[in-house]
Structure 1
Amino acid sequence: TLAGSPPPRSEAAKFSKSLAHLRSTEKPDAVLNFMRSQGLGGAAIRKVISSEPNYLCYNVETNIAPKFQFLRDSGLSESDIVDVILKNVVILLLDVHRSLVPKLEMWESLLGSRELVLKHLKKTRWFFFSSVEKKLHPNLKFLRDECGIPEERVYVVLRSHPQLISQKPESLRALVARADELGMPRQSRMFVRTLDALHNVSRERFEAKVELMRSFGWSESEFSSAVRKAPTFLCISLDMLRRKVEFFINVVGYTPSFIASQPSILLYSLQKRVIPRFRVLEMLNTKCLWTRQGTCLSYVKLSNAKFREKIVLPYKEKVPELLDILRAGECEGK
């Protein structure tokens, strides 16, 4: 049996069906013992086996151990390997030389370093599942040859979001069509970032955000313009987007049109950055030490170090609580 509590009846039935042809428990026992020896606990082993019960019928030396050795040789620690296996169980199905090595080399050339490949392997589900021939190469060729996007521009986005070219080619083409509908020029440096944002936002969620911003007074053209300037604002949750817009309209006093013209303001953390800085500026204003030179946006955009240097430190003797306001915001946002 698997370590820990017994599997649910449905899983047990699935295991039994896969093991029905075996005349002994030698292979399953060997597989379970090997996985335990590699640092996988009971819950982790159950997750791996429930995804593919036939793993219990594998020969450890020829089918499973080489995959773990491949990951070790790639530079991963034992705990890292456990994370990778749980995120990419399909690795145990793939041939080391025909599939895993070519995928590693392909992703290494795309992302620029093995460290980045290993980082994504640990955090990105099914990272090694995509076919080089059926997905990665066709998608890159489409973006380069048909969309006219320089490969370097694609690579910049892939380093943080490799899933963009891991999808089916028809899905990527659909994303390009959606970006075209928004009027985003394919020559724009924001085009690939727009594709990435749309990849993470379903049609339904996209339309919900269109409706939300329409309720605040945005026109369709203003929404499209905002996406072209700051596409990642589409990835903000509906509730947080509403809270941010309400704050800027009701508290700061910005008009919906101004927010549409400066959508990057929606990308900053409300609790950790926007509200604390606004409170600092308001306190300085009440003490007649700040007379609204520049917009709130210009101060929100400053780095933490610059904001402290320009706005907080010059007044720390007269208004010592300014630092407390900033610290409270940092703590509240954690």
Structure 2
Amino acid sequence: MLSPSPPPAMLLLQKRILLLSSRPRATTALLSFRHQCLSSVTRFATNAYAAAAATAVAAAANSAPFAVEDYLVSSCHLTRSQAIKASKVLSHLKSPSKPEAVLGFLSDLGISDADVAAVVAYDPLFLCAEVDKTLNLRLAELRDLGLSPSQIARLVLVDPARFRRPTIISKLKYYVPLFGSFENLLQALRPNSYLLSSDLENVVKPNVALLRECGLGDCDIAKLCVPVPRLLTTNPERVQAMVAQAEGVGVPRGSRMFRHALLAVAFLSEEKIADKVEFLKKTFRWSEDEVAIAVSRLPVVLRNSNDKLQRMSEFLMSEVGLEPGYIAHRPAMITYSLETRLRPRYYVVKYLKANGLLQRNRSYYTAAQVSEKVFMEKFIHPHKEAAPLLAQDYAASLRGKVPTRFRPEEPRTDSESTLSIP
């Protein structure tokens, strides 16, 4: 860097001093004066140089571009790869002033560093939002709707981009009463935040009206759309086709099972539904009437994988010995877990009957359908004295082990042949 030139006034003073010193009549006092002036000039020049150098450094610092990528890593907690991607849409930022204000807003909401990173990675432009004109205004509007700071924070995390838009207020005013609570709505928003961007008047409301025509109340619609929120945001003509498919599997509108039928066939093509019905008929040896009974009583069987249906058929029909018609009238058994419910309880029921601790005509289905608490109360605890190891063996079967006492086909010693029946 070149040294700054002395100011004009300093040059003039130097010239005058040199002129005086060149005259023969210069006195000692003049020489002393010359020395003092030169010292002052030197000090002035040094200070001026230092000030100019400092000004130059500050100017260079101010003119340096804002390192967006580094800022995203250090202040927003993004990984380097996330920062590289996000910086492409933030290249216009010249200073951290706006991002710092936004980060302060998020911090005041109680959003953690990890969640801040998630927000910025999902929506980098959130860092460019006007805190006073946009974010604080939205915060006030949401508070007026009755949302708590923690609920607002979760809403930001669901969809930061939609949070910044004023239309979110009208959407929430419609959705919260429909879903019954903000918490229910939040469950639907997590897998499908498009609820906040879909066209209320031309898409969502017509779909809700159609579902109400099918006999579904708002509570039923909420239960249906929390697991499948796309039912509200899909083209109304497509939803009408789903309603027709639900009726086509034998469940009429207005029936108690219609919601379950609609859930079962949602977004399945007619070909896939027909293929599943044929597979059920073949696997469980059901007639047309029997498969219609099973599907109408529990439409969700259409959602079970072919592998699970095959394993259920082999267990219920080959091992337990149940008839096809019996299963068709009790399709709930097909939906239970084979490993943690059906097989362990079958072992218990079979053992109790073999040892005279349970009536022979006691239904296995009764044991299979009750809750775990009820099963323990009715089939395990009453036999603590007669079969003290029953609870232990049942617990082992739940872990995938088959105790020797549950294997009558294997040779056993006298001590293993029963469960200590006095």
Aligned to 1:156: 220
Aligned to 1:52: 123
Counterpart AA for 1:8: S
Residue number among 140, 147, 162 corresponding to 2:208 in the alignment: 140
Deviation of 1:57 after TM superposition, in Å, equals: 2.2
Structure 1 residue 171 corresponds to structure 2 residue 238? yes
Deviation of 1:81 after TM superposition, in Å, equals: 4.5
Instruction: Specify the SS of the correspondent of 1:175.
Output: helix
Cα distance per residue 1:54-88 (max 9 Å; x no partner) = 3232112222344455556644453x554443333
User: Which protein is bigger by CA-based radius of gyration?
Assistant: 2
Structure 1 residue 268 corresponds to structure 2 residue 336? yes
Deviation of 1:318 after TM superposition, in Å, equals: 0.4
Aligned to 1:89: 160
Counterpart AA for 1:35: L
Counterpart AA for 1:24: S
Counterpart AA for 1:131: D
Deviation of 1:275 after TM superposition, in Å, equals: 2.2
Judge conservation of contact 1:233–1:263 (CA < 8 Å) in 2: yes
Cα distance per residue 1:202-230 (max 9 Å; x no partner) = 66865664464344134565444422211
Aligned to 1:213: 280
Deviation of 1:158 after TM superposition, in Å, equals: 1.6
Deviation of 1:137 after TM superposition, in Å, equals: 1.5
Counterpart AA for 2:236: P
Distance 1:256 1:87, change over 3 A: farther
Cα distance per residue 1:184-215 (max 9 Å; x no partner) = 21232211221122226566865664464344
Judge conservation of contact 2:246–2:262 (CA < 8 Å) in 1: yes
Percent sequence identity is: 31
Cα distance per residue 1:250-303 (max 9 Å; x no partner) = 321123443233211123233333222212101102212224324311221234
Judge conservation of contact 2:294–2:328 (CA < 8 Å) in 1: yes
Counterpart AA for 1:26: S
Aligned to 2:77: 4
Distance 1:81 1:205 in 2: 41
Cα distance per residue 1:77-102 (max 9 Å; x no partner) = 53x5544433333432431xxx3333
Distance 2:286 2:160 in 1: 45
Distance 1:46 1:327, change over 3 A: same
Instruction: Specify the SS of the correspondent of 1:143.
Output: helix
| TM-score, reference length from structure 1 | 0.79
Distance 1:331 1:82 in 2: 40
Instruction: Specify the SS of the correspondent of 1:272.
Output: helix
Distance 1:202 1:327 in 2: 42
Distance 1:176 1:160 in 2: 13
Aligned-CA RMSD value: 3.3
Distance 1:54 1:187, change over 3 A: same
Counterpart AA for 1:262: R
Aligned to 1:189: 256
Counterpart AA for 2:130: N
Distance 1:83 1:284, change over 3 A: same
Instruction: Specify the SS of the correspondent of 2:77.
Output: coil
Judge conservation of contact 2:211–2:221 (CA < 8 Å) in 1: no
Deviation of 1:120 after TM superposition, in Å, equals: 4.7
Aligned to 1:180: 247
Distance 2:277 2:329 in 1: 16
Aligned to 1:231: 299
What is the 5 A alignment of 1:102-121? 102-118=170-186, 120-121=188-189
Counterpart AA for 1:150: G
Distance 1:114 1:55 in 2: 23
Distance 2:247 2:118 in 1: 41
Judge conservation of contact 1:194–1:231 (CA < 8 Å) in 2: yes
Distance 1:124 1:257 in 2: 39
Counterpart AA for 2:77: G
Alignment coverage as a number of residue pairs: 321
Structure 1 stretches lacking a partner, 5+ long? none
Single out whichever of 268-277 and 183-192 deviates more from structure 2: 268-277
Judge conservation of contact 2:118–2:157 (CA < 8 Å) in 1: yes
Distance 2:341 2:367 in 1: 10
Counterpart AA for 2:312: K
Distance 2:238 2:247 in 1: 14
Distance 2:112 2:271 in 1: 39
| TM-score, reference length from structure 2 | 0.64
Structure 1 residue 320 corresponds to structure 2 residue 388? yes
Instruction: Specify the SS of the correspondent of 2:162.
Output: helix
Structure 1 residue 131 corresponds to structure 2 residue 196? no
Single out whichever of 168-177 and 207-216 deviates more from structure 2: 207-216
Cα distance per residue 1:137-176 (max 9 Å; x no partner) = 11122233xxx42343x53242463423343312311211
